[in-house]
């Protein structure tokens, strides 16, 4: 196995891109990443996407995007793992380079959600759950998270208000990210006042659906200097799975796949949670932030929301999270989100995060969650000049 | 709605109408829905079929206001995780009860109701929902 580095990144702003199609969004992110890395050709492209077949009527994304981007001929394939699609695609790119089979590889995440915003999109998202035993009962994705959240509140004596800190922090950070969908801070009072979506999940617990694309370009670490002085090393890459349905979990309040993938990643990188300088977690819903922090070893079981007190998750805190707005404020184009997290981690480690810069960031971790915890991908990155 | 859609639901009739699962011959764990590998002990578990009592209690619940395609006519509705008396959790809608009356721990029982229909000429899918347990006289 070879060490692997990231030599280029690109992204589109997250938002409602009525004027752009799936292929154009992908193209924009890809061109930006190619320009950043200073490359023309690549050996392969892995495309993370969840809903292209359902919403755009377009399968076969690998070949489509390779062709559209002027890379006709190269190996290209779509990787699907619900909301974890992009991190899973990135991991395939990592495996390609680490194995020695490929040299320059593009990982791209793209999602075009706003071509259909009604019940069809809700049904498409619910297809990440068990079709025969969850979705057939009319369960939406928000509802699945609400079921976990209500039981969590019951079990650990936590109130809805206790989750406010996650959204307040995400929006505060989103304000400094030019690519974020929401760039205004929110108050705790606004969080409490906001309407219910699926009780106990309120409007400001949930991330917005949006369009977007993000990309990263990987190469062997020993060749990275040929392209850039600012390469970022991939210290660990791990993917773990759990039961597709919540009702099949041994413990529905514990993200076993997050624990498994984080532990594997820590072992691979030779570090522990205390060494991580910032953590781009998957805050599709505030409950997922709490569960992710607990499973990855940053908080005790049932105490994930406690970290929101005393500024521990802010940019200056002990473990900054969602440093560029997270899913909540940057936006959550589902199958692209994992690569936004990675692109943002690279920006932090290059010192290019502007108003959102975490001082002296050396080690960053990302965690991308698919479904209600069925696929979880954890990556650890290191600044390369160390 | 295609004819293959019918087969997809028909295959599950023992589960949807009768809550038929399995008992693992190795660890005696009760399994719903049936699966070929026991989720408790990871041994092969294909026999024998086991019919659940349909009794259980609410483990968690929520209300769906923005339903997926195909469920618009019943919204808003309450969905729950129900802990069956024999052990496993199951996802289902609650029926014959207002969301405001539901509590964690509330005893419920399985009934057969319409889950969804596929348009004007389409088929209707029936299956389990849970209602508050009725007092037996």
A74-111 pLDDT per residue, tens: 999 999 999 999 999 999 999 999 999 999 999 999 99
Interface touch B115/A138, C-beta < 8 Å:
yes
B125 phi and psi angles, rounded to 5 deg: -95, 120
Which residues of A fall within a CB distance of 8 Å from B60? 147-148, 150-151, 154, 252
Compare A310 and A184 and report the one with higher pLDDT: A184
- Cβ-proximal residues to A113 (8 Å cutoff; 6+ apart), any chain: A51, A55, A121, A209, A210, A211, A333, A334
Q: What local confidence, expressed as pLDDT, does residue B137 receive? A: 64
- Is residue A330 predicted with pLDDT exceeding 80? yes
The catalytic residue positions of A are 83, 332
Sorting pLDDT into bands at 50, 70 and 90, what band is A209? very high
- Count of residues for chain A? 386
Sorting pLDDT into bands at 50, 70 and 90, what band is A386? low
- Cβ-proximal residues to B91 (8 Å cutoff; 6+ apart), any chain: A133, A134, A137, A139, A147, A245, A246, A247, B79, B80, B81, B82
Structure letter (DSSP) for residue A297: T
Average pLDDT over residues A235-259: 97
Interface touch B61/A245, C-beta < 8 Å:
no
3-state helix, strand, coil in chain B (%, to 5): 15, 40, 45
- Is residue B4 predicted with pLDDT exceeding 80? no
| pTM attached to this predicted model | 0.97
Quote the minimal CA–CA distance from B135 to chain A in Å: 26
Which residues of B fall within a CB distance of 8 Å from A122? 66-69
Report the DSSP beta bridge partners of residue A44: A75, A105
Q: What local confidence, expressed as pLDDT, does residue A115 receive? A: 87
Cα–Cα distance for residue pair A201/A285, rounded to 1 Å? 8
- Is residue B1 predicted with pLDDT exceeding 70? no
- Is residue B19 predicted with pLDDT exceeding 90? yes
Average pLDDT over residues A197-216: 96
Interface touch B69/A120, C-beta < 8 Å:
yes
Locate the chain A residue with the closest alpha carbon to B99: A199
- pLDDT tens, residue by residue, A269-315: 999 999 999 999 999 999 999 999 999 999 999 999 999 998 999 99
Q: What local confidence, expressed as pLDDT, does residue A18 receive? A: 94
Q: What local confidence, expressed as pLDDT, does residue B121 receive? A: 66
Quote the minimal CA–CA distance from A54 to chain B in Å: 12
Cα–Cα distance for residue pair A252/A247, rounded to 1 Å? 7
- Is residue A385 predicted with pLDDT exceeding 80? no
CA A210 vs CA A22, A62, A335: distances in Å: 12, 21, 11
Which residues of A fall within a CB distance of 8 Å from B79? 137-139, 143, 147
Which residues of B fall within a CB distance of 8 Å from A143? 62, 64, 79
Cα dihedral value A204, A207, A211, A215, nearest 10: 140
Interface touch A199/B62, C-beta < 8 Å:
yes
- Computed over every residue of chain A, the mean pLDDT equals 97
Average pLDDT over residues B100-127: 91
CA B82 to chain centre: 8
The three-state secondary structure class of A298 is coil
Dihedral of alpha carbons A323, A325, A331, A332, sign: positive
Average pLDDT over residues A169-192: 97
Average pLDDT over residues A46-52: 97
Task: Using a pLDDT cut of 90, give the percent of chain A over it.
Answer: 98
Chain B positions contacting chain A at CB under 8 Å are 12, 15, 33, 39, 59-72, 74, 77, 79-81, 88-93, 99, 104, 115-116, 125, 127
Cα–Cα distance for residue pair A189/B131, rounded to 1 Å? 37
Which residues of A fall within a CB distance of 8 Å from B64? 138-140, 142-143, 198
Residue closest to A51 by CA, chosen among A340, A360, A337, A339 = A337
Interface confidence, given as ipTM, is 0.95
Cα–Cα distance for residue pair B43/B50, rounded to 1 Å? 17
A270 with A257: CB under 8 angstroms? no
A347 with A9: CB under 8 angstroms? yes
Q: Given its phi and psi angles, is residue B27 left (phi above 0), alpha (psi -120 to 50 degrees) or beta?
A: alpha
Query: Please, what's the largest Cα pairwise distance for chain A?
Result: 57
The three-state secondary structure class of B49 is strand
- Cβ-proximal residues to A251 (8 Å cutoff; 6+ apart), any chain: none
Quote the minimal CA–CA distance from B16 to chain A in Å: 9
Average pLDDT over residues A61-80: 97
Average pLDDT over residues B64-88: 95
Q: Looking at chain A from residue 337 to 356, which residues have their Cβ under 8 Å from any Cβ of chain B?
A: none
Give the least confident one: A161-165, A365-369, A376-380, B34-38: B34-38
Cα–Cα distance for residue pair B80/B78, rounded to 1 Å? 7
- Is residue A16 predicted with pLDDT exceeding 90? yes
- Which string of b and e fits A330-344 if b means at least 16 CB within 10 Å? bbbbbbbbbbbbbbb
Determine which helix (DSSP H) or strand (DSSP E) holds A290, and give its type and residue range. helix A286-295
CA A232 to chain centre: 18
- Cβ-proximal residues to A345 (8 Å cutoff; 6+ apart), any chain: A232, A278, A280, A364, A365, A366, A379, A381
- Cβ-proximal residues to A64 (8 Å cutoff; 6+ apart), any chain: A23, A58
Cα–Cα distance for residue pair A349/A107, rounded to 1 Å? 19
Locate the chain A residue with the closest alpha carbon to B72: A119
A148 with A246: CB under 8 angstroms? yes
- Residue A32: count other Cβ atoms within 10 Å of its Cβ: 19
- Residue A372: count other Cβ atoms within 10 Å of its Cβ: 29
The three-state secondary structure class of A247 is helix
């Amino acid at each position: 196995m070879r060490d692997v580095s990231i030599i280029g990144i690109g992204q589109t702003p997250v938002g409602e891109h009525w004027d752009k199609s799936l292929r154009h969004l992908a193209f924009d992110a890809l061109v930006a990443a190619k320009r950043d890395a200073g490359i023309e050709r690549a050996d392969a492209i892995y495309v993370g996407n969840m809903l292209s077949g359902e919403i755009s009527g377009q399968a076969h994304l690998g070949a489509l995007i390779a062709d559209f981007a002027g890379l006709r001929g190269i190996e290209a394939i779509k990787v699907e793992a619900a909301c974890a699609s992009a991190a899973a695609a990135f991991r395939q790119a990592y495996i390609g380079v680490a194995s020695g089979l490929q040299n320059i590889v593009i990982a791209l995440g793209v999602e075009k959600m706003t071509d259909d915003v009604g019940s069809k999109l809700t049904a498409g998202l619910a297809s990440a759950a068990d079709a025969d035993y969850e979705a057939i009962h009319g369960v939406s994705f928000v509802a699945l998270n609400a079921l976990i959240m209500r039981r969590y509140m019951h079990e650990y004596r936590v109130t809805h208000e206790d989750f406010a800190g996650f959204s307040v922090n995400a929006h505060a950070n989103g304000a400094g990210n030019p690519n974020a969908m929401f760039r205004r801070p929110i108050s705790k009072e606004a969080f409490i006042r906001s309407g219910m979506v699926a009780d106990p999940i309120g409007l400001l617990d949930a991330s917005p659906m949006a369009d977007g694309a993000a990309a990263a370009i990987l190469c062997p670490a020993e060749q990275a200097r040929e392209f850039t002085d600012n390469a970022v090393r991939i210290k660990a890459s791990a993917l773990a799975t759990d039961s597709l349905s919540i009702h099949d979990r041994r413990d529905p309040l514990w993200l076993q796949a997050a624990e498994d993938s984080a532990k594997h990643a820590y072992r691979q990188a030779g570090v522990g949670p205390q060494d991580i300088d910032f953590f781009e977690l998957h805050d599709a819903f505030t409950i997922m932030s709490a569960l992710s922090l607990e499973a990855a070893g940053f908080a005790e079981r049932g105490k994930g929301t406690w970290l929101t007190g005393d500024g521990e998750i802010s940019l200056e805190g002990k473990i900054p999270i969602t440093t560029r707005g997270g899913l909540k404020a940057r936006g959550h184009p589902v199958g692209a989100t994992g690569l936004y997290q990675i692109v943002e981690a690279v920006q932090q480690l290059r010192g290019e995060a502007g108003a959102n810069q975490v001082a002296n960031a050396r080690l960053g971790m990302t965690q991308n969650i698919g479904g209600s915890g069925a696929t979880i991908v954890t990556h650890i990155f290191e600044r390369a000049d160390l | 709605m295609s004819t293959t859609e019918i087969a997809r639901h028909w295959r599950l009739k023992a589960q949807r109408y009768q809550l038929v699962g399995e008992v693992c011959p190795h660890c005696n764990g009760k399994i719903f829905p049936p699966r070929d590998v026991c989720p408790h002990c990871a041994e092969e578990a294909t026999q024998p079929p086991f019919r659940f009592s349909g009794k259980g209690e609410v483990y968690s619940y929520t209300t769906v206001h923005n339903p997926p395609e195909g469920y618009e006519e019943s919204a808003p509705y309450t969905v729950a995780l129900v802990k069956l008396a024999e052990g496993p959790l199951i996802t289902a809608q609650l029926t014959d009860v207002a969301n405001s009356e539901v509590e964690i721990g509330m005893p419920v029982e399985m009934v057969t109701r319409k889950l969804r229909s596929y348009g004007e000429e389409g088929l209707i899918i029936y299956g389990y929902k849970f209602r508050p347990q009725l007092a037996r006289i």
